[in-house]
Amino acid sequence: MKEQVEKALDKIRPALQRDGGDVELVEVSDDGIVKVRLTGACGGCPMSQITLKQGIERVLKQEVDSVKEVVSV
């Protein structure tokens, strides 16, 4: 599952990098919880939770069936 998550994140990364940020995969648990760290401009952005839930989580759930939730650490 970790490889699938990485491939899905690679699809999201260009949009984040255009705004000066990025996303780093921290952990993928067996129960479908994906932990990521937003870096660069995304790390301190007030819109980061919206990016996380409506952007990253939405795409990961579409691409990887076993993803239940994405959380920022």
| Residue 35 three-state SS | strand
Q: Fill in the DSSP letter of residue 12.
A: H
Q: Fill in the DSSP letter of residue 53.
A: I
Tell me the pLDDT tens digit for each residue of 6-47. Answer: 999 999 999 999 999 999 999 999 999 999 999 999 988 899
Cβ neighbours, 10 Å, residue 68: 13
CA distance 55 to 59: 6
Domains of the chain: 2-72 (3.30.300.130)
| Helix and strand element counts for the chain (H, E) | 3, 3
Q: Which two tokens stand for residue 62?
A: 């579409």
Predicted local distance difference test score (pLDDT) of residue 29:
96
